């Protein structure tokens, strides 16, 4: 009987985590990916908390919301000016979720699509802490790195896709 109770409790916790992760996917990751690809600064920043901490590890700098918005807007303008498109894919290696906080770790694949056809693909690892604010999930800490080019397609394919 204790084994059945433990199994049912484990199943309940797992189902709750899956429900929270689906909420996060709908409220954060799908809009994050879409706004990244459409160069939509407002949409991109909307999934971030006003208290966001952006750790730009490649640059060795920390940004708050306003600086992160400016950097994002400038980058988006660069892509528009150069008539380039972007595509972002995310896969997950760890996902931890409670009722109002969560932590996602994974690998991204960012593709730059240029009119010349000289496209580039960059892989990196991300670590993101999320918090539910007024009933909506928001990114609170956003950090990623290519790890000096050490993150590869093999790492990307080894992680779980966004469901």
Q: Domain residues for 60?
A: 2-161
CATH number of the domain enclosing 147? 3.10.450.50
DSSP summary character for residue 100: S
The pTM assigned to this predicted structure is 0.87
C-beta of residue 151 within 8 angstroms of C-beta of residue 123: yes
pLDDT at residue 159 greater than cutoff 70: yes
Number of domains observed in the structure of the chain: 1
Collect all residues with Cβ–Cβ distance below 8 Å to 162 and sequence separation of at least 6. 25, 29, 30, 33, 90, 91, 92
pLDDT at residue 37 greater than cutoff 60: yes
pLDDT at residue 12 greater than cutoff 70: no
Please, what is the average pLDDT of the chain?
Answer: 91
What sign does the CA torsion over 60, 127, 67, 63 have? negative
C-beta of residue 142 within 8 angstroms of C-beta of residue 48: yes
- Per-residue tokens: 23: 């909420």
């Amino acid at each position: 009987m204790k084994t059945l109770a433990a199994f049912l409790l484990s199943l309940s916790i797992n189902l709750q985590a899956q429900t929270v992760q689906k909420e996060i996917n709908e409220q954060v990751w799908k809009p994050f990916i879409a706004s990244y690809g459409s160069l939509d600064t407002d949409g991109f920043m909307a999934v971030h908390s006003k208290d966001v901490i952006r750790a730009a590890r490649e640059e060795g700098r920390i940004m708050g919301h306003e600086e992160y918005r400016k950097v994002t807007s400038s980058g988006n303008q660069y892509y528009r000016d150069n008539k380039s498109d972007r595509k972002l894919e995310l896969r997950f290696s760890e996902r931890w979720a409670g009722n109002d906080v969560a932590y996602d770790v994974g690998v991204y694949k960012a593709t730059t699509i240029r009119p010349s056809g000289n496209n580039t693909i960059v892989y990196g690892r991300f670590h993101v802490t999320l918090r539910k604010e007024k009933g909506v999930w928001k990114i609170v800490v956003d950090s990623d790195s290519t790890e000096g080019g050490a993150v590869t397609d093999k790492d990307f394919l080894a992680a779980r896709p966004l469901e």
